[in-house]
Structure 1
Amino acid sequence: MENLCEYKKNQEHKLVYAWFDNSEKVPYNRGQHMSDLPDSIDIVILTHPKELVPFEREEIKILKDKGTKVAYAVSYDDIKAKYDEEQITASQIQMKENSENTFDGFLREEVKKQLAYSETFDGVIIKFNGKNPKYMTDEDRVSYEATQEVFFNTISEWEKENKNKFLSFQGKPQNIIKKEQLSRFLHIIIEFYQVTDVNKFSLTIQDCLEPGVPTDRFIMAVSTPSLDSSDTTTGYLGKELATIETAYWITSISSEYNKSGIAIDNVQNDYYQTNGTYRNVKEVINIMNPAPIK
């Protein structure tokens, strides 16, 4: 255990982030227990951080004892979608007409509320896709920049009070107007979910390489295959597993940017393997960080 913690903390290696669906609060098989995840995963991101039950808190401690950090996500786009959905009653519409900054106020309070879940966690993933400001009018860009200021300033306030916790960014860094905001993040997670060909990975990264975007900390996000047998595209690049192909791609060297590791969505799906639990995740780890040959 001591060697494992030392490896994660101090030894240079390709990192593994993993999203774990902890929505089941009364688990009925081992695949619903985060404590069964492979030991070499560096950061586990829980999808339901708000109400942790006793067994989850115990398993978070088990992960931390292994040197694994536990985090959750705060998503700008999810907050925006929630706000838009709530604008359906006449009273809300009237309120919106009477205030030019209704969403900014809603955004600030929602971010504060979600960041307050962080006591049990080691860090937070800040998700932001947003819109590309290049195609906005000057007026829309000014408004959009002000909204981004609200979002990131609220995070900064939390950060000052939580210096022992980390922040990572997920989404589209090219859509952040003030790119200096990105320097605070431990890693920048780029989503490859819609990429269908490994040869297009580089193009996805190139879209992000605007002046001011840090190039020394990219993490590539892909998914495990769906447990729905009718879904033959999620988690695949053609007929190959996206996790495995991405792991090999990460081991290749680029002179333009650093491939710091992988992020695996729906990691719990890989538990259900006929030839060994979490077999593909373990293979990903071994591809990126092969054990030394004795």
Structure 2
Amino acid sequence: MKTIINKLLTCGLLLATFALHTACSDWNEPEAVDLNINSAKEQNPELWARYIQVLRSYKQSKHFITYARFDNSTENPVNEGSYLRSLPDSMDIVTLSHSDKISDYDRRDIPLLQEKSTRILYLVDFAAQASNLADAGALNNWLDKAITAVADLNLDGFAFTGIPLYGGTDAELAAHKEKSRLIVSRLSAAAGQDKLLIFEGDPAFVDAADQTKLSYIVLGTDVIDNATDLKLQVSLTLSDGSVPQDKLLLAARIGKQMNDEVDVKFDAVTLMTDYVASLGPLGGLAIYAIGDDYYHSLRNYATTRSAIQLMNPAN
């Protein structure tokens, strides 16, 4: 009897092993799965339309502006921080840091942000390229490419950088000023009445007569690490009256810390929101390295979203 039972058990084990081997082989075969993931817009078009209208009304209302520099052009995104689509919907303006390297991801996301009334700008980084643009011909050709790209991509304007020249011969100073005038002239003409023109850096780079052509000025306060230096820089910038308070944006960098008046250290983006109101009120806040927020311990865009809500509590 035991021999029969053992034979039956052996046969059963062989059958089970064969079946398991067959099943595992089947499981290892790739199988296409049809997933139909609908966006919020597709799930409820009517509710989406109402939401878009609320966003449009908010961004057309008087409020503290939130501007961001976004490190675009990532060819192989590793998380949502690499995508424009993941920025907070209440962001007003986003400038593409690598405007000459627009990826397919960027091209798909730009219209999504524009639908939410977020304005996307092309960066004309003259401060970084000045040494390669020695004459007016080279500068004009470079500006032509930027103007063509903005038209082709249907972007919402330009941001540009520049560094004032405080020393040198009369001829060098005049040539530097002429380049500044040329940049503002070409970009303001291309922007017209409908697009934005924003300067980032020390406003002394822009000729006083051209200040009125700028939509906003982002003051280079992202390198400041204490409130005393911040107050001094803002005071000097506003002292001659050429820069209107409501056009001035304070810059802060994700991940950086800053000391307040009593030398207590805070997250720079969060602390800077207080000074946007108390030192003006000014026009708003500019956030640099915004994609890095996705690696923050608070996860996702918590720092950015909190800053927007602190400046605009009703948002």
Question: Shorter chain as normaliser: what TM range?
Answer: 0.7 to 0.9
Q: Which residue of 2 aligns with 1:13?
A: 63
Indicate conservation of the 8 Å contact 2:98/2:123, yes or no: no
Which structure has the greater CA radius of gyration?
A: 2
- 1:204 aligned to 2:233? yes
Q: Deviations over 1:98-127 (max 9, x none)?
A: xxxx52221222122222211221111121
Of residues 170, 173, 181, the one that matches 2:200 is: 170
The whole-number CA distance in structure 1 between the counterparts of 2:175 and 2:299 is 52
Q: What is the Cα deviation at residue 210 of structure 1?
A: 5.8
The whole-number CA distance in structure 2 between the counterparts of 1:112 and 1:71 is 15
Of residues 239, 249, 263, the one that matches 2:275 is: 249
Q: Which residue of 2 aligns with 1:282?
A: 305
The whole-number CA distance in structure 2 between the counterparts of 1:108 and 1:212 is 31
Q: Which residue of 1 aligns with 2:30?
A: none
Equivalent residues in 2 for 1:252-271, closer than 5 Å:
252-254=278-280, 258-271=281-294
Q: What is the Cα deviation at residue 63 of structure 1?
A: 0.8
Find the residue that maps to 1:274 and give its secondary structure. coil
Judging changes above 3 Å, is the alpha-carbon distance between structure 1 residues 184 and 150 closer, same or farther for their aligned structure 2 residues? closer
Q: What is the Cα deviation at residue 14 of structure 1?
A: 0.6
Q: Which residue of 2 aligns with 1:87?
A: none
Deviates more, 1:162-171 or 1:140-149: 140-149
Judging changes above 3 Å, is the alpha-carbon distance between structure 1 residues 264 and 143 closer, same or farther for their aligned structure 2 residues? same
Query: Match of 1:287, as an amino acid?
Result: L
Judging changes above 3 Å, is the alpha-carbon distance between structure 1 residues 260 and 266 closer, same or farther for their aligned structure 2 residues? same
Judging changes above 3 Å, is the alpha-carbon distance between structure 1 residues 29 and 77 closer, same or farther for their aligned structure 2 residues? same
The whole-number CA distance in structure 1 between the counterparts of 2:102 and 2:169 is 44
Find the residue that maps to 2:237 and give its secondary structure. coil
How many residues are paired up?
256
Judging changes above 3 Å, is the alpha-carbon distance between structure 1 residues 43 and 137 closer, same or farther for their aligned structure 2 residues? same
The whole-number CA distance in structure 2 between the counterparts of 1:273 and 1:75 is 27
In proportion to residue count, which structure has more helix? 2
Judging changes above 3 Å, is the alpha-carbon distance between structure 1 residues 109 and 17 closer, same or farther for their aligned structure 2 residues? same
Indicate conservation of the 8 Å contact 1:76/1:130, yes or no: no
Indicate conservation of the 8 Å contact 1:198/1:245, yes or no: no
Find the residue that maps to 2:59 and give its secondary structure. helix
Q: Which residue of 2 aligns with 1:179?
A: 208
Q: What is the Cα deviation at residue 156 of structure 1?
A: 4.1
Q: Which residue of 1 aligns with 2:149?
A: 117
Identify unmatched segments of 5+ residues in structure 1.
84-101, 226-234
The whole-number CA distance in structure 2 between the counterparts of 1:220 and 1:146 is 27
C-alpha RMSD over aligned residues: 2.1
Indicate conservation of the 8 Å contact 2:164/2:204, yes or no: no
Q: Deviations over 1:127-149 (max 9, x none)?
A: 122323xx444343333333333
Query: Match of 2:253, as an amino acid?
Result: S
Indicate conservation of the 8 Å contact 1:43/1:71, yes or no: yes
Find the residue that maps to 1:48 and give its secondary structure. coil
Higher relative contact order (CA 8 A, sep 6+): 1
Equivalent residues in 2 for 1:1-294, closer than 5 Å:
1=51, 2-9=53-60, 11-83=61-133, 103-119=135-151, 120=153, 121-132=155-166, 135-159=167-191, 162-176=192-206, 178-209=207-238, 211=240, 213-216=242-245, 217-225=247-255, 235-238=256-259, 239-254=265-280, 258-291=281-314
Query: Match of 1:269, as an amino acid?
Result: D
The whole-number CA distance in structure 2 between the counterparts of 1:273 and 1:127 is 28
Q: What TM-score, normalized to structure 2? A: 0.74
Find the residue that maps to 1:170 and give its secondary structure. strand
Query: Match of 1:127, as an amino acid?
Result: T
Indicate conservation of the 8 Å contact 1:169/1:182, yes or no: no
Query: Match of 1:218, as an amino acid?
Result: L
Query: Match of 2:276, as an amino acid?
Result: I
Identify unmatched segments of 5+ residues in structure 2.
1-50, 260-264
Question: Aligned residues: percent identity?
Answer: 24
